[in-house]
Structure 1
């Protein structure tokens, strides 16, 4: 870690003011990623159930939504939402305008819709992989389809989807770096500010990369711990 210590020793770059910018960017990045993942997860569960439906009038619109948002770049989606919202007639006279004119909320909408699409497909695959024996056992106990979904299918699907969903969380953290293109002062935006002020791209962006790396390791550690807790019954018992 000598390079990191040398990086921090650069007093020309890391003043209290610049550290405050990095801290503000870290808070903004954390809020953006956490809220988009939370709302996206809430949206993805019913969408995944609908996507697994045998009725095409339910599954087809959800398929189109996931296909569009998984098939186009997140950056393009962010641009469309951020710049396109002003083209809605009368939007500037509504109560939504004070929020939508701020960069954070269009970015939150774009990130939420994107992660909801990916999470929907992750959960749909996990739901489809549910053992037929589990469903038949639930029916034998007299469970209704809704109760079977809530008590049997969804908990089992969540455990199976956990590794893939952990990758989605990391992807969203890394993808959040593009939020700075719409003037949002996130972690990457803070690094751009330091670079523009001191003309030191190596130090500015390397420090931001180190913070992203620490966040990624924290997420990996959390999901590995969660997998061990939820999948403990699958590990072979000693003795």
Structure 2
């Protein structure tokens, strides 16, 4: 297989076997970043969306501020701030976090996770609000305890998103 690729690239000065292997490594890292940021961002977005629909002003506004900041700034700026800005924190290079922070993968993953969580939080919040409006129109609202409401909202959002996926395909 490598011989075939080498023979095809023999006269090419730009694309060589070593550069194609470099592209392959970049593709693998990109897929890893996308997959991990989507999974972790989804796991963060569900509780944040439930908190975003809270009646408590401080909780609601705190989550709103998080989504406002991360949806309102360009992702490249977030990457710069997280990757380059963390190194300016006093004592970070002497701490136990330095081996994690000095590698570009983890600050990039953190920026992607926070950005994904912010956007997905607002999507899920819209699904919760829309689902609750439909539910409240169909039946009389009942008073329930907070843990039960969180579980109910989680399954409502999950069902609404699955229905949306099925309908749009």
Number of residue equivalences:
155
- The match for 1:104 is 105
* 1:148 and 2:152 aligned: yes
Distance change (3 Å), C-alpha of 1:135 and 1:81: farther
Taking structure 1 as the reference length, the TM-score comes to 0.58
CA distance in 1, matches of 2:35, 2:138: 33
1:89 is matched with: 90
Coordinate RMSD, CA, aligned: 2.7
Structure 2 CA distance, aligned partners of 1:135 and 1:55?
26
Q: Could you list the per-position Cα deviations for residues 10-31 of structure 1 after superposition, in whole angstroms to 9, with x for gaps in the alignment?
A: 6514432222111101101001
**Offset of residue 129 of structure 1:** 0.7
The residue number in structure 2 matching 1:77 is 78
Segments of structure 1 that go 5 or more residues without pairing to the other structure are 1-8, 163-226, 233-239
Give me the whole-angstrom Cα distance separating, in 2, the residues matched to 1:111 and 1:146: 26
8 Å Cα contact 1:36/1:111 also seen in 2 = yes
Query: Which of 158, 163, 173 is 2:161 aligned to?
Result: 158
Match of 1:129, SS state, is helix
2:4 alignment counterpart: none
Matches within 5 A, 1:2-151: 11=10, 12=12, 13-130=14-131, 131-133=134-136, 136=139, 144-151=148-155
Structure 2: runs of 5 or more not aligned: 1-7
The 3 A distance-change label for structure 1 pair 134 and 16 is farther
1:48 positional shift = 0.5
Q: State the TM-score, normalized to the length of structure 2.
A: 0.80
- In the alignment, the residues of structure 2 paired with residue 109 and residue 161 of structure 1 have an alpha-carbon distance, to the nearest angstrom, of 28
